[in-house]
Amino acid sequence: MAEESKLLKLPEKWHRALAVAAHPDDLEYGTASAIARWTSQGKEVFYLIVTKGEAGIDSIKPEETARLRVQEEISSARAVGVDTVEFLDYKDGVVEYGLPLRRDIARVIRRHRPDVIINGNYEMTWGGGSFNMADHRSVGIAALDAARDAGNRWIFPELLEEGYEPWDGVKMIFISHPPKSTHAVDVTDSIERGVASLREHKVYIDNLSQNFDPEEYLRWGAAETGERAGCEYAVAFGLLEL
Ligand SMILES: [Zn+2]
C-alpha cells in the first residue's frame, strides 16, 4: 500500500445521529461497525434509507426484493443497536437530487433532532478509478443540504405547517467511505457486530456473489485502516462541520 497519512480520531462528544443512505446495505460495509461502538456508548442512532433497494437483485421481481431487503435492513440495524429504520420509498436506481428529496430528509432531521448526520460518499469516485453510483451521489448531496435546510424556518415552510419546528443542532457530518479519508473510529471491540449486521443481508449477498465472505471483507478493510489509525481495526470517515 502507498504511504498514506495518519488518521485523526473522529469526534465522539455527541449524543444522537441520523444515518442517511440510498440503499439497504450501504451502511453495512464498514460504517455499522462504528455505529455498534457508538450505540454501546449509549448514543442514539437512527437510520433513514431513501430507497428499498428493489432494483438490486436481477433474478427477483422488484416488489419481492423490496420486501426482503427492508426486512434485512431492519435486522442489520438491530445487530448494531439501532431500533428505528425509516424508508422514504424513492425508486431504486433513479433517485434524483432535488427539492423534494431535500425536504423529505429535512423533515426527518427535524423530527429526530440529531447532533450528527452520518452520510455516504457523494463524490464521483470511491478514490482511484472506481465510479460511484448515481443514487449515492444524489442522496449524499441532498443529505448535506437538508442538514442546513432543517435549521432554517423559511426554507420548506410546509414543514412548519406539518408541525416540524426548525432544528439547527446538526454540528457535524461524518462521510462514510470518502475518496480521501481524514478521520477514523476504532472498531476493534465492535467489528464483530458490524460483521453480524452485514451477514443479515443474506439474500442480497447470495445473489451478488457466491464467494463473498462478510467477515473476511470487513476485517481486511478495517485492518488496513487500523494501521493508519494506530489500532487493530478501524473504519475511516471524512468530517464536515456546519
Ligand atoms: Zn448503495
Using one digit for the tens of pLDDT, what is the confidence trace for 98-155?
999 999 999 999 999 999 999 999 999 998 889 999 999 999 999 999 999 999 999 9
pLDDT of residue 74: 98
Angle, to 10 degrees, between the axis of helix 31-40 and the axis of helix 62-79? 40
How many CB atoms are located within 10 Å of the residue 152 CB?
A: 11
Strand partners, 49: 21, 87
pLDDT of residue 172: 98
How far is Cα 53 from Cα 66, in angstroms, rounded to an integer? Answer: 6
Mention the CATH class of domain 8-241: alpha beta
pLDDT of residue 128: 84
Using one digit for the tens of pLDDT, what is the confidence trace for 169-214?
999 999 999 999 999 999 999 999 999 999 999 998 988 877 899 9
Ligand 1 centroid from CA 164, angstroms: 29
How far is Cα 95 from Cα 50, in angstroms, rounded to an integer? Answer: 8
Q: How far from 192 is each of 41, 79, 124, 215, CA to CA, in Å?
A: 16, 10, 31, 8
Using one digit for the tens of pLDDT, what is the confidence trace for 32-67?
999 999 999 999 999 999 999 999 999 999 999 999
Ligand 1 centroid from CA 136, angstroms: 6
Residue linked to cell 457486530: 193
**Long-range CB contact pairs, 58-63, < 8 A, 24+:** 58/207, 59/207, 60/203, 60/207, 62/92
How far is Cα 119 from Cα 141, in angstroms, rounded to an integer? Answer: 9
Asked if pLDDT for residue 2 goes beyond 50, the answer is no
Ligand 1 centroid from CA 171, angstroms: 25
Amino acid residing at 179: P
Ligand 1 centroid from CA 29, angstroms: 10
Ligand 1 centroid from CA 52, angstroms: 10
Ligand 1 centroid from CA 232, angstroms: 27
Domain ranges of the chain: 8-241
Ligand 1 centroid from CA 25, angstroms: 7
Ligand 1 centroid from CA 107, angstroms: 22
Threshold 0.85, pTM exceeds? yes
How far is Cα 11 from Cα 73, in angstroms, rounded to an integer? Answer: 26
Ligand 1 centroid from CA 153, angstroms: 31
pLDDT of residue 131: 94
Q: What is the maximum alpha-carbon separation in the chain?
A: 54
Q: Would you state the torsion angle of the CA atoms of residues 209, 134, 22, 110, taken in this order, to the nearest 10 degrees? A: 170
- Tell me what percent of the residues of the chain surpass a pLDDT of 70: 98
Ligand 1 centroid from CA 211, angstroms: 20
